Chains A and B, each alone.
Chain A
Amino acid sequence: QKEVEQNSGPLSVPEGAIASLNCTYSDRGSQSFFWYRQYSGKSPELIMSIYSNGDKEDGRFTAQLNKASQYVSLLIRDSQPSDSATYLCAVNINAGNNRKLIWGLGTSLAVNP
């Protein structure tokens, strides 16, 4: 099992719909979870971070964390064409004596007008 897994997509949603992006991770001890957005050919930028079980909302974005099931998701409400991008999940995992930030391969989202 990969340490951080995401569906590669593409996930296609109509404008105005809710886009749901999922990420699973292997280390039960993980404590920090991040969602980055990356437009084609551009650099990743932080969208949301979450550390506790439950939901965290920021504008149209909601991050959901379930440590028992080892998944973290990102919901985008009222999706806009400008949300079309690749969304990267990053998780702090235990790596021996240290912790390491592991990146998923990303889910490509296409929002259709």
Chain B
Amino acid sequence: EAQVTQNPRYLITVTGKKLTVTCSQNMNHEYMSWYRQDPGLGLRQIYYSMNVEVTDKGDVPEGYKVSRKEKRNFPLILESPSPNQTSLYFCASSLSSPQGSRDTQYFGPGTRLTVL
């Protein structure tokens, strides 16, 4: 089954404790991205990756890191989480960049993160 998976689905942590949210897709998609979704602010892109070893900042990259060492995986790293990073996070993938193409984005199930 074609899918995007994320882990963990729910996470409660404390300020400053490094964490990683994993994302994996099995569709051989080149493009992957991370979004956060907050009430009243909608979906905002954090980082995206056009291909292996090619990543770039989205609209709200501060406090986050990513890496793309393999085509299928695109982990999101919070080196020192803060309460303002409490949010619902989605990983998404598409065959190519949705910005310049008509490719559908497929979203993972989401990770609800709470930083105390």
Residues of A at under 8 Å CB distance from B? 32, 41-46, 49, 51, 88, 92, 98-101, 103-106
Q: Which of B21-56 contact A (CB under 8 A)?
A: 40-45
Expressed in whole angstroms, the Cα–Cα distance for A106 and B40 within the complex equals 9
Expressed in whole angstroms, the Cα–Cα distance for A46 and B102 within the complex equals 12
Tally of B interface residues using CB under 8 Å: 18
CB of B107 within 8 A of CB of A103, answer: no
- List residues of chain B with CB within 8 A of the CB of A92: 98-100
Chain B proximity of A14: nearest CB distance (Å): 27
Q: Chain B at the A interface: mostly helix, strand, loop or mixed?
A: loop
- Name the residue on B nearest A50 (C-beta): B102
Residue in contact with B90 in the complex, picked from A43, A49, A100, CB distance below 8 Å: A43
Residues of B at under 8 Å CB distance from A? 40-45, 90, 98-102, 104-105, 107-110
Number of A-B contacts (CB under 8 A): 42
CB of A101 within 8 A of CB of B98, answer: yes
CB of B100 within 8 A of CB of A105, answer: no
CB of A46 within 8 A of CB of B105, answer: yes
- List residues of chain B with CB within 8 A of the CB of A45: 107
- Given contacts A44-B90, A98-B100, list 8 more A-B pairs with CB under 8 A: A42-B110, A43-B108, A43-B109, A44-B107, A45-B107, A92-B99, A92-B100, A105-B42
- List residues of chain A with CB within 8 A of the CB of B102: 32, 49, 51
